[in-house]
């Protein structure tokens, strides 16, 4: 099985007529993702990569049966794009766009409250269920179908972890890039719970970094609820305090958000935390035996 995405995912691309939207639409189609439409206001009736373009999300959902949306529109328009998805009732919304103002995302989260809709991102690489569907910017060729679930705050570290898993013959059930902003739609604990409930996910990799308290919250969940082995990697052990390290969320704001503090609590809660990503496959293999 997989989580979030599978063969039944019918994807629309918001911003499909732009440079990034059209480029990644082509990559998703090449991977085998069912892209049923694109949305660019005022450009309905056109086609990109053979995919029909609609003026609104509601029209795309009605005419193409979309159940997943991926957003590549510029940051100043991304909030409205997400709110349009919410209004149309799109179950899964994946926002690749970076640079959204925090208050925009807070407004979006308020609109999501009391709904069953899910937002991944913003500022994320997307989601892939290898061999089934790829939505976002993840390089499909490094992934392999299998039973290891991967959830990460970092895009490039996700790729490194996945590449090492694949080289070691360990395929992935689903890989989820949460995004590196301080306010995001879906967090570690949400994805961990989905993986724990997925019968065909046998092991989990969690990739965190300095800043915020999501890893600490995830650690407490793992301690109480985990039924499968979890291996972790935390980036930023040598980051100086108070210095932003790439992601808006990757800022050490107090002593308990350092990489070492996160490693300590994860270890105390039963997670094996490795020093380097290439150590993950051998540790997982030993735990799954």
Looking at the structure, do residues 218 and 113 belong to the same domain, yes or no?
A: no
Active site positions, annotated = 247
pLDDT at residue 180, rounded to an integer: 87
* pLDDT of residue 263 exceeding 70: yes
Residue 39 falls within a domain, yes or no? Answer: yes
Q: What is the mean pLDDT of residues 231-235?
A: 94
Query: Do strands 126-129 and 272-273 pair parallel, antiparallel, or not at all (unpaired)?
Result: unpaired
Looking at the structure, do residues 17 and 108 belong to the same domain, yes or no?
A: yes
- Answer whether the bond into residue 70 is a cis peptide, omega within 30°: no
User: What are the tens digits of pLDDT across the range 7-56?
Assistant: 999 999 999 999 999 999 999 999 999 999 999 999 999 999 999 999 99
Instruction: Show the domain range for 27.
Output: 11-120
pLDDT at residue 29, rounded to an integer: 98
Looking at the structure, do residues 89 and 157 belong to the same domain, yes or no?
A: no
Confidence of residue 249 (pLDDT cuts 50, 70, 90): low
CATH code of residue 200: 3.40.50.261
Looking at the structure, do residues 99 and 225 belong to the same domain, yes or no?
A: no
Residue 92 falls within a domain, yes or no? Answer: yes
* pLDDT of residue 140 exceeding 70: yes
Q: What percent of the chain shows pLDDT beyond 90?
A: 87
Looking at the structure, do residues 113 and 206 belong to the same domain, yes or no?
A: no
Q: CA 191, CA 188: separation in Å to the nearest integer? A: 5
Both tokens assigned to 77: 């328009």
Helix (H), strand (E) at residue 172: strand 172-177
Give, rounded to a whole angstrom, the gap between the first and last alpha carbons of the chain: 20
Lowest mean pLDDT among 161-165, 191-195, 222-226, 232-236: 232-236
φ and ψ of 212, to 5 deg: 75, 180
Residue 4 falls within a domain, yes or no? Answer: no
User: What are the tens digits of pLDDT across the range 189-205?
Assistant: 999 999 999 999 999 99
Contact 178, 120 (CB under 8 A): yes
Residue 134 falls within a domain, yes or no? Answer: no
Residue 156 falls within a domain, yes or no? Answer: yes
Confidence of residue 240 (pLDDT cuts 50, 70, 90): low
How many distinct structural domains can be found in the chain?
A: 2
Q: What predicted TM-score, i.e. pTM, was given to this entire model? A: 0.93
pLDDT at residue 124, rounded to an integer: 96
Looking at the structure, do residues 101 and 163 belong to the same domain, yes or no?
A: no
Both tokens assigned to 225: 């609820």
Query: Which long-range contacts link 106-113 to residues 24+ away (Cβ below 8 Å)?
Result: 106/183, 107/79, 107/83, 108/79, 108/82, 108/83, 108/185, 109/183, 109/185, 111/82, 111/83, 111/86, 112/86, 112/185
């Amino acid at each position: 099985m997989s989580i979030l995405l599978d063969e039944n995912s019918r994807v629309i691309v918001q911003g499909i007529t732009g440079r990034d939207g059209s480029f990644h639409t082509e990559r998703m189609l090449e991977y085998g993702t069912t892209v049923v439409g694109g949305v660019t206001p005022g450009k309905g009736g056109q086609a990109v990569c053979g995919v029909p373009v609609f003026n609104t999300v509601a029209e795309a959902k009605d005419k193409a049966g979309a159940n997943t949306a991926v957003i590549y529109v510029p940051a100043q328009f991304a909030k409205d794009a997400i709110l349009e998805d919410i209004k149309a009732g799109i179950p899964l919304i994946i926002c690749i766009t970076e640079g959204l103002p925090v208050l925009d995302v807070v407004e979006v989260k308020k609109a999501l409250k009391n709904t069953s809709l899910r937002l991944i991102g913003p500022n994320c690489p997307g989601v892939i269920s290898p061999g089934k569907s790829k939505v976002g910017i993840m390089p499909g060729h490094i992934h392999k179908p299998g039973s290891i679930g991967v959830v990460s705050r970092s895009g490039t570290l996700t790729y490194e972890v996945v590449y090492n898993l694949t080289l070691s013959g360990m395929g992935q059930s689903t890989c989820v890039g949460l995004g590196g902003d301080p306010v995001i739609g879906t967090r570690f604990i949400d994805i961990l719970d989905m993986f724990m409930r997925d019968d065909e996910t046998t092991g989990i990799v969690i990739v965190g970094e300095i800043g915020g308290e999501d890893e600490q919250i995830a650690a407490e969940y793992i301690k109480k609820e985990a039924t499968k082995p979890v291996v972790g990697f935390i980036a930023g052990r040598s980051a100086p305090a108070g210095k932003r390290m790439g992601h808006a969320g990757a800022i050490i704001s107090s002593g308990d958000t350092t990489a070492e503090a996160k490693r300590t609590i994860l270890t105390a809660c039963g997670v094996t935390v490795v020093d380097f990503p290439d150590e993950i496959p051998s540790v997982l293999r030993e735990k799954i035996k």
